[in-house]
Amino acid sequence: QVTLRESGPALVKPTQTLTLTCTFSGFSLTTSGMCVSWVRQPPGKALEWLALIDWDDDKYYNTSLKTRLAISKDTSKRQVVLTMTNVDPVDTATYFCARQKAVAGTSYIYGMDVWGQGTTVTVSS
Amino acid sequence: DIQMTQSPSSVSASLGDRVTITCRASQGIRSWLVWYQQKPGKAPKLLIHTASSLQSGVPSRFSGSGSGTDFTLTINSLQPEDFATYYCQQAHSLPLTFGGGTKVEIK
């Protein structure tokens, strides 16, 4: 059974760095084609893709946020970590991680087939 | 980046109705289009991938079509559990992008 679970602080102060951890089971991020994405959703708003890391340790970011984001993986711990620097109240959202599979050797990626439950982060002083 | 535009932003429908949601990409994405369903307080659920392939376990009243820039999600015979928000997402190239969502409400 594939599962993902997000963890991190519920409250962060403006200008601080937010660190979120996605702990997964049931698959390996060393398997060709396997990827994990982070997605967020501000209250009452649409989904926004943030970042993806793949089995080959390639990393991709949301264009508007890429200067503030960093994604990494620890395959032995089965974790993917997302850091976001210099947070602002507009970063208040529920943050999800999700598994995806890529078509190796191409830019094509299948849908996010298994999601975590999400973790809610509020940015406030 | 590829922009995804969904319409309508909301639709009111009755049980048993057919509902159609459209999604337009700012450039051609072949069939690399995904549809999700999201209920309040829950994570999104994958419904359809590669524009028209139903994810395992998804009822057959859901169907997707289209290629290139224009895509459609159709829900036939709307059921109570279908009232939710639906999102499209392009899977053609990174960065990935979502549409703005379509809320299906009870009339």
Segment B25-51, tens digit of pLDDT: 999 999 999 999 999 999 999 999 999
Quote the mean pLDDT of chain A: 96
Average pLDDT for A41-69: 97
Question: Nearest CA of chain A to the CA of B22: how many Å?
Answer: 16
The confidence score (pLDDT) of residue A103 equals: 86
DSSP B96: P
Task: Look at residue A106 in the predicted model and tell me its pLDDT.
Answer: 82
Q: What's the pLDDT tens digit per position in B46-82? A: 999 999 999 999 999 999 999 999 999 999 999 999 9
Total residue count of chain B as it appears in this document: 107
Tell me the β-bridge partners of B6: B23
Which residues face A25 on adjacent strands? Answer: A3
pLDDT of residue B42: 98
Interface of B with A in 48-87 (CB under 8 A): 48-50, 55, 87
Interface check B16 vs A, CB under 8 A: no
Q: From chain B, pick out residues whose CB is under 8 angstroms from the CB of A99.
A: none
Cα distances from A112 to residues B32, B93, B105, B106, in angstroms, run 13, 14, 25, 27
Chain B hits for A22, CB-CB cut-off 8 Å, are none
Question: Both tokens of residue A24?
Answer: 């997964």
- pLDDT(A105) > 90: no
